[in-house]
Every structure is written in structure tokens, then in C-alpha cells.
A and B are shown apart, each in its own frame.
Chain A
Amino acid sequence: MEMIFEALRQMATLEVVVVMLLASAYGLTMGAIPGLTASMAVALVIPIAFFMDPIPALAGVMTLSAMAIFAGDLPAALLRIPGTPASAAYVDDAYLMVRKGQGGLALGLCVICSAIGGVVGALVLMGASPSIARFALQFSSYEKFWLACLGLTAAIAVSSGKWYKGGISLMLGLAVAQVGLDPVSGQARLTFGNGDLIGGLAFVPVLIGMFAMPEVLRYALARREMQPPPIQAIGNVLAGVGATLRRLKGDLVQGSVVGVVIGVIPGAGADIAAYISYAISKRFSKVGAKFGTGVPDGLVSATTSNNSAVGGALIPATVFGIPGDSLTAIIIGVFFLKGLNPGPTVFIENAVLINTVFISFLIANILMVPMGLLAISVFQRVIRVPRYMLMPSVLAFCILGAFAVENTQFAVMTMLLLGIVAFIMEKYGYPLAPAILGLVLGPMLEETFLNSLIRARGDLTAFVQRPISLTLALMTLVICLTPLVLYLWRKATAARVQAT
């Protein structure tokens, strides 16, 4: 408890308050602009966070990640274009409510439910993480290895498209992570005689390249400006919100719980949480058949869930260093940059800093109500910013962001190369999230694998001799085998149907 007060004391500075407010505005703006994801928003701001003190930097990053997920609801409701993938599940309900003249209620529900979901996620994060960390202190390199494997296989399993494409994406991330000095022997590898590669490919240019460049290149190839929609009459944003939430309090609880639980699963994330929550509400609602036609019942659970998932995803991220989704993978990158190494010992070695992260995330979700209400009134015009101005600006941020952190022109070329690779991957249906997870978890995976092998003198059975490592290995195996079982089951079912 005293660490929480100490963290609060260190956060009570004008600098932190200003940074959080600016991060809110930035997160809301980026999240509200269609096509710019929360992950991209955080990736582009890393170069700025790099040069700041740890506490304001971490507070700012946590604030903007919370805001960006909510802000995706604004273009979803006003333009029928989800600002972030996490808002896609309920885009029709939000948009059609605005068209029916219930814009105030739709956006009011979005901001209040997002804030409630976010606060629940933050409280679970603050309550559960230290206890899980105490348990995780018993983990040896075997358990850590399997945990990393579990995170990576789960990331492939839940990624969109074909599983082997997720696997290739993961292998690419692992390959990129291996460039530079070997973590055990210190030998240079995959450097091709290039001195710039001895330190490895820098994390920030890779991230910026993979998340921001594809969007810019896609725009260039299929240049289109969105038709500015008519400004809708929004009305009183909070009118009717209280009554609706009292009526749908079950959905609010369901969304919060589902969001946290799905968020904790490595590889899942806010968008999957929103879809699952939406499906559950639709299944059990009295007006389930009307979902997708502009009913508030379709909004509440899903918009709550995508924000509570962010808190859930931060639990494995802080306790084990295993990111729940690509957004959390980037946040872990920022943790490392600011000297906050995630893992069970973080609550002992960096107690104040980790509590700063938790508290700033909680405050950001509370701050979401006033900032969100302000954004609703202002952003009807902001989200119509022309893409011919936006995309060159994003590219300028990419170039400068990559250059600033490393101060080398090589970083700009790294950003460009990885951007082209990511663009091709997305074009051919390869998900990017496993690559980022592979990049983040690669060093941990290799180090724990080699250390375990050395400890066991090459005996592979040692990897499954401890109860926890065996459990984690079995879970990994189940996730690996699930696609094959499902494939065989579908084939058998199809054969049975044909036979009858």
C-alpha cells in the first residue's frame, strides 16, 4: 500500500498532469481517425517517450492507450467506420442509433461504459498482479520457456486468417529478434558484416515500420478521401444513459468480466473481447434479434469489454512479460526502454514505477469521462481531416521517430524495410501481431530455452518434469493441436453429411 502512496506522490507533479492531458488528447485524436490504430498511436509516440523521465513517459503511454481504444467508437458511431478494430463489433448499432436521432445516447453509452470497463480492468490489474507475481516467483527457466511458448502459440491461434500464416509471421518476429549478439555466448550473428546490426535491429524503428508504414502505403495505392458526412445532431450526450445502464446492468457486468478474462489470454485482445461480449449479449438478450439495427443493448457489453480487456492484457504483460496483444507488446517495449523490466520481480525491484503504471491507467480511465465528452463535441470535425494531409504527416513522424531514437540514418532504412515487409504481409493475409509478439518474446524464449538445455545437460524430458511446466506444456500442446482436430472434425462431419 505504501508503494501506491509513494507512486501517487511521485505522480503529483505538473509535468505528469500535463503529459497525461496531452496524451489523452493525442490518444483520442489518433483513435478517432479511421485507419489509425491504438497500436500505431503508441508506436509513433515511443520516440517522444524515449526522451522523457520514466514516470511521465509511462503515465503518458498508459493514458493514451486507454483513450485510443475508446476513441475508436467516435468514427464508428458518426461515420460507420471503426476508428480501431476493437470498435468493429458494434459499429452498426452505434451508427444506426446516431442515424435514428439517438446520437447522444449512443456516444454517452460509449464513453461511460468504456470508462467503467477500463476502471474495472485497472482495479483487477492492481489487485491480481501482485498475487500472481508472488506465485510466479517459483517459476524456473522451464516454466518461463513454456509460458513464452504458450503466449506465442495462443497468439497464432487467435490471429485472423490461416494458422500457418500466423506461424510464419511469428517466425519472422523471432528471426528479427535474433539479429545481433547471441544472448548466451555473446557472438555476433545474422549481421552480414554490417556494424549497424551488431546491436540488433532497434525495436522502435521496427515497430513504427510495421504498424504505421503499411497504412501509409495502402493509402498511396488506393487513394481515396472519405466523403464528409453530414454533421449529425448529437443532442444531450448524457440524457438517458443512467436509465439505460440501470436496465442493462447485467450486460455491463458481463462486458467487464469477459473483457478482463479475454484480455488475460495471451494473443487475444480488445477486439476479440468485444466480439465475444457482443455475441453473448445477443444470445441472451430479449431483443437479440434486433442487434445490429441500432439498439443500445448491442452497445453496452461490447464497448465495456474492449476497454476492460486492456487492463486484463496488462496482467500477463507486467507479471510475466508476456503481452496479451500487439498493443501490450508495444507497451512492454516502452517498459523496457524506461528501465521497467516486466516479470515477477518487478514488484520488488521497481515497485514504485510499476504502481505508477497501474495508477496512471486507473486515472486515465476516470479521466476518460470528461475528456471523452469534450472529444464528442469537438471531434465531429477532427475525424474529417483529409487523408492527403494526414498520410504525409504520418510518414514524417515515422521518419523522424525512427531517426530520433537511434540517431542513425540506418534506423530510417530499417523502418522502411520492415514497413514494406509488413505491407506485403498484410496484403497477403499474414497477421502482424504474432511477429510483434515474437520480436518481444524472442530473446526471453531463446535465453530460457538455452539455459534450460544447459541446466538439463541436453535432457529434453527435464522440460516437463516439474508440475507447472508440464501443465503449461500440455496447454501449449492443446492449442497447437486444436486446428488439426477442428480440421479433422469438420472433414468427418462433411463426410457424414454427404453420406446421408
Chain B
Amino acid sequence: MQLGQLAVAGGFGLLGAVLIVNTSSMGAVAHIEYGPGLFPSIVGWGMIGLSCLAAFDALRTPRETPATTAADLDDAPPAEPLTPQNLILFTAFLVAPIFYVFVAPVLGFLLTMPVIVGGLAFLASGRPWRALLLGIGLTIFLHIVFYDLLRVTLPWGILTPYAGILTWK
């Protein structure tokens, strides 16, 4: 039995059920026989059916075993084993967009992005100066491209009073 595969199949099956439950009560509008719930229901049932197949396959397939032959080992990429550092980095990459969502409106793009990029580069490499240079350099580059050239409204946050000075034109 492959637990991971089973969990993923279960997750998709659940999503199919959510589709059906959420749209089944939507009635048809006047003069149109087929309501907005029809197509999502078909997709939902399709997803449940296919998830059952995936779950059945996961149940009858034995657990994956590590590579044992020389050929297997040759084909495997030379990945590092899962270490606490890798888990921290993984979490950091996941948290970074959430950090941006909550912090950028307060600190502004120019202060938030160097923290994200520099922080992640430092966590990945342990080289503070390179990480700092990358964070600052990339932020300036992105600001010029998106804010100055493409006119995307980026948050200024606490730097709003200095927006005029910090705009490269």
C-alpha cells in the first residue's frame, strides 16, 4: 500500500465531492433547462471515479523500495538526503509569498523584496554578502522593470513619503 498516493487520491476525491455538493443545489435559470451545476457535477463525478481508480491502485501496489541495483542508482539524481536545513529552506520558500502578502503593504516593495530574496539566498548558501547583493540588486532591477517601465503599482508602505525620490526616471 502506498500511503502518499492514497492520500493524494483521497484529496482529489474529496475535491470532486466538494464540486458536486457546492453546485448541486444551484437551480436552472428561467428558459434554460440546464443549470450552472450540471457541468461541475459531471467533472466532480469524473474526479471521484478516477480518484477511486488511483486509490485502488495505491492500495494494491506495494510500498516503494529504495533503489537497489547499480542501474537504479545511476539513474537517480544525486540529491541530498532530507535534512533539517532543507526542511527549513522548504518552509521558507513556502512562507515567502505569505510574508510578501502581509508585509509588503506595510514595509513596501523596496524593503520587503530584499528581505525575501536575500534571506532565501542566505538560507540556501550561507553566504551573507552574496545574498545581500542579490537581494538588493534584484529588487532594484524588478522595481525598474515593473514600476518604472511597465507602470505596475507596487506598494510603497512606509516609504511612501520618499516615493518621488526613489523613482528612477
Binding site for B on A (CB under 8 A): 47-48, 51-52, 162, 164-165, 167-168, 171-172, 174-175, 178, 182, 184-185, 187, 189-190, 192, 216-217, 220-224, 386-389, 391-393, 395-400, 403-404, 407, 409, 412-413, 415-416, 420, 424-425, 427-428, 430, 446, 449-450, 453-454, 457-458
Contact = CB atoms under 8 A, between A and B. Distances in A.
A168 B50 contact: yes
B19 A389 contact: no
Contacts of B128: none
Contact of B116 (A171, A395, A409): A395
A171 B46 contact: yes
B8 A424 contact: yes
Given A220-B93, A392-B138, A399-B97, 18 more contacts: A164-B53, A164-B54, A167-B50, A175-B44, A175-B47, A182-B36, A185-B28, A217-B93, A223-B89, A387-B124, A389-B134, A391-B124, A392-B135, A395-B120, A396-B117, A396-B138, A412-B101, A454-B32
B120 to A, nearest CB: 4
Contacts of A175: 15, 19, 40, 43-44, 47
A454 B142 CA distance: 50
A439 B34 CA distance: 22
A172 B116 contact: no
Main secondary structure of the interface of A (DSSP, over half): helix
Nearest to B151: A51
A409 B97 CA distance: 9
A412 B103 CA distance: 13
A323 B20 CA distance: 28
B79 interface: yes
A316 B53 CA distance: 32
B70 interface: no
A168 B38 CA distance: 18
Contact of B26 (A172, A187, A221, A388): A187
Contact of B39 (A48, A407, A449): A449
B116 A450 contact: no
B150 interface: yes
Contacts of B46: 167, 171
Contact of A454 (B33, B77, B146): B33
B161 to A, nearest CB: 22
A217 B97 CA distance: 12
Contacts of A216: 93
Given A393-B117, A396-B116, A428-B4, A171 B36 contact: no
Contacts of A398: 97
